[in-house]
Amino acid sequence: MSSPIVKLVAQRIALGILLLLAVSVLIFAGTQILPGDVAQAILGQSATPESLANLREQLGLNQPAYIRYFHWLGGVLTGDLGTAMSSGQDIATSIRERLWNTLFLAFWAAIVAIPLAITLGLIAVRYRNGWVDKLISGVALASTSFPEFFIGYLLVFYFAVEHQWFPAISTVYEGMSLGERLQAIALPAAALTLVVLAHMMRMTRAAILNVMQSAYVETAELKGLSGFAVIRKHAFPNAIAPIINVVMLNLAYLVVGVVVVEVIFVYPGMGQYLVDHVTKRDVPVVQAVGLIFAAVYITLNIIADIGAIVANPRLRHPK
Amino acid sequence: MTNELDYLSRRVAAGKLSRRDFLGRAAALGISAPFANSLLSSAARAAGPVKGGTLKAGLVGGESTNSLDPALMMTQVPFAFGKCWGEMIVELSPEGKLENRIAEEIGSSDDAKVWTLKIRDGVEFHNGKTVTAEDVAATLERHSDEKSKSGALGYMKGIDTIKASGKEVVLTLKEPNADLPYLLSDYHLIVQPNGGKDKPDAGIGAGPYKVKVNEPGVRHVGERFANYWQGDKMGHADQVEVVVINDATARTAALQGGQVNMINRVEPKIVDLIKRVKGVTIRNHAGPGHYVFIMHCNTAPFDNNDLRMALKLAIDREEMLKKVLRGYGSLGNDFPINASYPLFTEIEQRKYDPDKAKFHYKKSGHDGSVLLRTSDVAFPGAVDAAQLYQQSAAKAGIKLEIKREPGDGYWNEVWNKQPFCASYWGGRSTQDQMYSTAYLSTADWNDTRFKRPDFDKMVLAARAELDEGKRKQMYHDMAVMVRDEGGLILPMFNQFIDATGPKVAGWVDDPHQELMNGYALAKCWLEA
């Protein structure tokens, strides 16, 4: 069993690395075609031709793009993300805390969202086409259909302004206890949960329903198992691959798609950090954040792939 | 009756009567609400500041790219936090007068060319060292150096030599300048040990609060500095905190939810809603900031003064003030100065006059439409304002074509490049500064391309004039010239609109900048 699976996994990882390299080229090219350059952005209104020329020289913006690309790539591979042009701070150091904050928020949102979505999916299957199913689907779809900022504002209005149960802003900082942190992120985590819930729930429901059509499920029902037992013992294990896929996709979204939620709740994560530096044309930071986001996305997708392979005997033992 | 009111307001200050009850009783005595409110705040001041607690501000204008280096301060958060940890050489009082801070005395030679600053004794930095004349001189030197990239560099370039001797700093200027003390009140000029030359972003100053936490773009915390030289006037709260909240809705929610005690930049369109919230007070007051449409005087078709005049007459200022600023502002008169500047004189208000506009438009001989560029970032409501302008101009037979530009890159690609666009100015502290920044022929930011040697001469002459009466007349003449011949269309001056939560006392409106010129955290206190 081990050799084909090791080969498959190795292939996936190699593909992932290639993909990441391709993404790095795209990111670099993308930041080059932004209007204006970082020298202009730093000087802003006060730019004069001489000061622009001086600053460009100083920042090495005069070298051809491909040389700058390899410089940058070499730095990234050795763990040096460079320094932010606008504030002169080391990017790796500033990102570390921000990334940790984003992961912290994503982690707690996921802890709530994933079990909730899967459980709701299972319940929806058990009572399929009944009012419970319709209610669950309806509410979940509605919460997903609203834009995140709208859900965020609704939560703020009700829980922070009207009732003052949770803070309206989620500033977290060092020295806060875990409890304080959790209270601070309650609202953004809830907003994120509502946003990703429906996708996972609907996919769980669809994947299991698909399996429920199979002959062996009918057999299980005929041998007298209860509704939930059939789903748990026979349907769910066979539907796990697509569920892992959708869970991973949503996990990736929780990390890289939180920009709007972070801005609304003033949460010091990667999204806010990225937005600040995009407006400043701070190219090294934008590139670094872009690359980290891409790496997270690709890694989670690889995990999803591998999970699906491991869970599926047909992929595990290809003929 | 006044006795009774006095008594009542003292009871409120002592916490024995609620503010609401007081207003009710005042109304029963026939007193209007604004007057009653002002009585209350003076009573609260008379009762004296309350020491202790944490005062928090939720502010727009902070980014993760901010630095504690005063030279690089540009946005509201570093500005407001700078007033907490830094001490100035001189400052402008809320009444517009000069207030000596680290400089105990400022004097000049008769020709306004050599200035002497006497440095106050007993002012201490947070690191325990005493502020010396050398520190002040080094600070000024650093900001005069191109390398510091200081926001004050423009004015500092006018200083020729800086010398410290004993307790005095002597400045020799390249050209006479009667406004020098005002220029030294620029918020970048925070006095640092050795001028910050060793470590510009160390955050060591002589202000009422020591920097405790500095997380750019997230929050800044200051802890009361025990040895502050003027502890009775500033630094009432034990701790001050600035939380960066760039989203307007989140900012108001944080104030309503009680996470912060004050916020800046309340949007005019929601002021009336916020007013109704219990405990929240709107603090709006006039400042020098203004919203503008600017024409390049040297680019066709705007090189024709009749066309410029037609466009100036074709704008309905009153409507714009009412609809875009919801009344939170004042009418502009096509020159960049208003009553918040020293030496201001009234000039007849220009009104919307479609007939006269039509006349001048015909006389200009221009045919076809005029292209106006606007953007969301030009000023809040700039797109709406452009549309209102289009309609009022249409009534005068002038066809305005509006192009909405993307906010990204507006300041690089459109402002100061395209011949007719929307923009804003924050204003300066003196008329000379304002005119020198944007109306001298040689100014980089002459965004109306108003290049008139006769005007330049007037600016320089007024700058060197020490007689106030003569200066006032000179500024009046300059204003008339810009108003009638320049490329500036100035429909309105905006107001600073801040808001405070319950229990915040000690607020004094300051026309120079928002949040009491940045001192709100240092000067306000929390009532018990």
Residue B1 pLDDT: 45
Contact A44 B411 (CB under 8 A): yes
B253: nearest CB among A48, A156, A279: A156
Residues of B in contact with A44 (CB under 8 A): 74, 411
pLDDT at A57 over 70: yes
A84 touching B (Cβ < 8 Å): yes
Tens digits of per-residue pLDDT, B34-56?
566 666 666 555 668 999 999 99
Place B33 in a pLDDT band, splitting at 50, 70 and 90: low
pLDDT at B28 over 70: no
Residues of B in contact with A40 (CB under 8 A): 412
pLDDT at A70 over 60: yes
Residue B37 pLDDT: 62
Residue B63 pLDDT: 81
Give the A window 166-195 contacts with B, CB below 8 Å.
167-169, 171, 173
How far, rounded to the nearest angstrom, does the alpha carbon of residue B414 sit from its chain's CA centroid?
A: 24
Alpha carbons A152 and A267: distance in angstroms, whole number? 12
pLDDT at B328 over 70: yes
Min CA distance, B348 vs chain A (Å)?
Answer: 32
Min CA distance, A298 vs chain B (Å)?
Answer: 27
Alpha carbons A111 and A117: distance in angstroms, whole number? 10
Alpha carbons B39 and B31: distance in angstroms, whole number? 10
A226: left (phi over 0), alpha (psi -120 to 50) or beta: beta
Contact B412 A36 (CB under 8 A): yes
Q: Which two tokens stand for residue A274?
A: 């990225």
The tally of CA atoms less than 13 A away on the side-chain side of residue B45 is 13
3-class DSSP string for B180-249: HHHHCCCCCCECCHHHHCCCCCCCCCCCCEEEEEEECCCEEEEEECCCCCCCCCCCCCCEEEEEECCCHH
Segment A212-234 shows an average pLDDT of 86
**CA proximity to B469, closest of B347, B343, B348:** B343
Q: Tell me how many degrees the CA angle B5-B7-B11 measures, rounded to the nearest 5.
A: 115
Residues of A in contact with B219 (CB under 8 A): 171, 173
The reply to whether ipTM tops 0.85 is no
A-B Cβ pairs (cutoff 8 Å, strict): 97
pLDDT at A315 over 90: no
- Among the ranges given (A194-208, B145-159, B413-427), the one the predictor scored with the smallest mean pLDDT: B145-159
Contact B253 A279 (CB under 8 A): no
Residues of B in contact with A264 (CB under 8 A): 247, 249-250
- Among the ranges given (A128-132, B23-27, B278-282), the one the predictor scored with the smallest mean pLDDT: B23-27
Place B32 in a pLDDT band, splitting at 50, 70 and 90: low
A50 touching B (Cβ < 8 Å): no
Contact B213 A173 (CB under 8 A): yes
pTM (2 d.p.): 0.79
Residues of B in contact with A276 (CB under 8 A): 63-65, 217
Contact A45 B67 (CB under 8 A): no
Residue A33 pLDDT: 76
Rounded-to-10 torsion of CA B40, B41, B47, B50: 130
Percent pLDDT > 90 in chain B is 65
Instruction: Output B46 or A1, whichever has higher pLDDT.
Output: B46
- Among the ranges given (A43-57, B89-103, B508-522), the one the predictor scored with the smallest mean pLDDT: A43-57
Contact B249 A153 (CB under 8 A): yes
Instruction: Output A166 or B17, whichever has higher pLDDT.
Output: A166
Segment B455-472 shows an average pLDDT of 92
pLDDT at A25 over 60: yes
Q: Which two tokens stand for residue A80?
A: 């040096």
Across chain B, what does the average pLDDT equal?
Answer: 89
User: Which residues are CB-neighbours of A74 under 8 A, at least 6 positions away?
Assistant: none
Alpha carbons B348 and B343: distance in angstroms, whole number? 16
Min CA distance, B513 vs chain A (Å)?
Answer: 20
A59 touching B (Cβ < 8 Å): no
Give the domains, in start order, of chain A with CATH numbers: 103-273 (1.10.3720.10)
A87: nearest CB among B216, B245, B249: B216
A65 touching B (Cβ < 8 Å): no
Contact B253 A273 (CB under 8 A): no
Alpha carbons A296 and A24: distance in angstroms, whole number? 13
Residues of B in contact with A59 (CB under 8 A): none
Segment B188-201 shows an average pLDDT of 94
Residue B208 pLDDT: 97
